Amino acid sequence: MHETEKLQPELQELLQKPIRDLGLKIEGSPLERLVQQLYRELASKKLTKFHPACYLTDEWGCPSGEPVIGIPFYLAHPDLAHLERETNDLEDSREIMMYLRHEAGHAFNYAYKLHKTAEWKQLFGPFRRPYHDNYRPVPFSRNYVRYLPGWYAQKHPDEDFAETFAVWLTPRSAWRKRYRGWGAMAKLRYMDRIARELGSTDPLRRRGHTDLTVDEMEVTVAEFYRRNGQGMPLEDLALDTDLRDIFDASRRRKSARPAQTFLHEHRKTVVDKVTYWTGAQRPLIKQLVESIEKKVADLRLFADARRESEHLIQITVYATALAMNYMTRGKFVQP
């Protein structure tokens, strides 16, 4: 929570309020137009009977078996969005739409109980397969679509379907061309056919039950971020020599600026890309990059403004190498 100590007074005041007392709603918030865009996209695919309810909660999700979509509460208010941006990484409109389409895929699956059919199981696998947050994907496999970062379709059959649905739903995704010759094409064709068959059919489960709603969140905003900031501990990383090689600018140069400032500006992009291509869990990569950011500050390293693209390439490749080491060996650095 050290990031919140630098916030302006009005945001500090917001931190002390229980989330349920903030009166947050999708209607009238910046989220409303994006939810409406999702509904337009569903209608454009002629899914006239499928209209999943959206609600505010603590994180993105679709409760298992329930055709409803949970959206993080902080996206419903500009000040909360600013707070999220300062303390974590705020989703932009493009990313919000990606998550909405993905969660709509889960909701569609549950609304029509597709996961119980033999064809669905044959294409995607058993729905009751154990669900593990830490999974080892096969990078570049063509049996799965690519949508959310981290080869996410490989996490579980239910995620495979949701990712397939999201690709199919995305306007101008050109999935027929992009996935031509891939094993994933059979899943996309299934999605296209089943949507035509069910487009004007009432869902088997029209309404779903939410899990935690924003009106039930008794914790304060500060408590929420304190709990969510307690991530997995990272072992001490001997980064000093490596980081000195990457950020080797002399502080006496006019073009020099603190490496910590440079990394902070590019943190979200680095985290996003390393997560996408390695398949490591995003919270782990975020903590890794933040640890690097703290270390360059402790070492008082500087980046050269004339060589920023070089610095960015090096730190991204370096973080990727550490992440892949973790994925294959269970540790960032071997003794």
Spell out the domain ranges in the chain. Answer: 1-91+201-230, 113-191, 234-327
Beta bridge partners of 248: 302
Cα distance between residue 314 and residue 179, in whole Å: 32
Contact 308, 262 (CB under 8 A): yes
Q: 236: which 2 tokens?
A: 């001490």
Centre a 10 Å sphere on the Cβ of residue 207 and count the other Cβ atoms it contains. 11
Contact 274, 280 (CB under 8 A): yes
- Please list the rounded mean pLDDT of every run of 10 residues in the chain (335 residues): 57 89 96 98 97 96 95 94 82 96 98 98 94 82 94 95 98 97 98 97 93 95 77 62 92 90 93 91 87 91 94 96 86 73
Cα distance between residue 100 and residue 69, in whole Å: 8
- The answer for residues whose C-beta is within 8 angstroms of residue 85's C-beta and 6 or more apart is none
Q: Is 229 helix (H, G, I), strand (E, B) or coil?
A: coil
Beta bridge partners of 302: 248, 258
Q: 244: which 2 tokens?
A: 């000195």
The whole-model pTM stands at 0.86
Per-residue pLDDT at 296: 92
Q: Which helix (H) or strand (E) holds 71?
A: strand 68-72
Per-residue pLDDT at 145: 98
